[in-house]
Structure 1
Amino acid sequence: MSLYTAVATSSGRDQRAVSSDGQLDVKLGMQKELGGDGVGTNPEQLFAAGYAACFASAMRLVAKQQNVDAGDASVTAEVSLNANGQGGFTLAVTLRVELPDHLSGEAGRALLDATHQVCPYSNATRGNIPVELVVE
């Protein structure tokens, strides 16, 4: 059963992306590294923003369940676009998580590992693309 369905439409990575409710309306642009002018956001940036926000929210949920305070934590997602050697492309993700000092070491790693099992983006990407979790 679906809790929520997001709907967005685009006609290409150098066009626009618009959500059905109008809350998202962004100009997309081809990255300079791919031959574009670099003006506008790109799908990899949108994916990175979504994954970072989702993982951070899931981490707050897991921290609450574990009775730990992760209120000052932040997540930075790095999404890499890679050639697959067969004319197509793949993605790879590194999630860099800044945790409060009291969550250093094993407690922080346990929180990240548990979050990685809860986050919908992590569950969607597991087994499909590499995702590295880094505690900073």
Structure 2
Amino acid sequence: MKSDVLFTSHATAKNGREGHVKSDDGLIDLDLTMPNSDSDKKGSNPEQLFAAAYSACYDGALNLVASKEKKKIDSTTTADISFLKDSEDNGFKIAATLHIEISGVGQEEAEDLAQKAHQACPYSKATRGNIDVTLNPKAV
């Protein structure tokens, strides 16, 4: 099934995890570094950038799902993206935990909305079956 492209974003990385990443419009222009390296160099990392993107996308999907169900909510989503050693192939992998705070509904409704948003979110769709994603919804 072919999808219609709504827009395409562009970013270029140079020198991998110890390099630099920049978007074509210059809004993202960051040095990259491994968080646990012995270097004094300050910078972001791919997991931090993915956490920002996933949390924003998921929170948008959550609000869309809630509005379609005529529920007025206020939400905050924090993504924890972990960089893991993969024991299966001696390589590396990532895992995600989404901490979702939702006001305006009870805990059961928060859990239901969180699951529905997970089905609708493009990042959740892209990661489904590829990485472990844990949802941690909380009514506040």
TM-score by length of 1: 0.91
Unpaired segments ≥5 residues, structure 1: none
**Alignment-derived partner of residue 109 in structure 2:** 107
Equivalent pair of 1:78/1:94 in contact (CA under 8 Å): yes
Quote how far apart the aligned CAs of 1:15 are: 1.3
For 2:44, give the aligned amino acid.
T
Amino acid at match of 2:118: H
1:20 matched to 2:24? The reply is yes
Which structure shows the higher strand fraction? 2
**Aligned ranges for residues 71-90 of structure 1 at < 5 Å?**
72-85=74-87, 86-90=89-93
Q: Structure 1 residues 38, 123: closer, same or farther in 2, change over 3 A?
A: farther
Structure 2 CA distance for aligned equivalents of residues 5 and 66 of structure 1: 29
The offset of 1:35, in angstroms, is: 4.9
Residues 55 and 119 of structure 1 are in contact (CA less than 8 Å); yes or no, is this contact kept in structure 2? yes
How big is each residue's C-alpha offset from its partner over 1:14-40, in whole Å with a ceiling of 9 and x where there is no partner? 1111011222111111212x5544621
Equivalent AA in structure 2 for residue 42 of structure 1: N
Query: RMSD of the TM alignment (CA)?
Result: 1.4
| Equivalent residue number for residue 64 of structure 2 | 61
> Structure 2: 5+ residue runs without aligned partners?
none
Secondary structure class of the residue paired with 2:58:
helix
Structure-1 separation of matches of 2:136 and 2:67: 21
Normalised to the residue count of structure 2, the TM-score between the two structures is 0.88
Q: Give the partner amino acid of 1:104.
A: G
The whole-number CA distance in structure 2 between the counterparts of 1:115 and 1:9 is 30
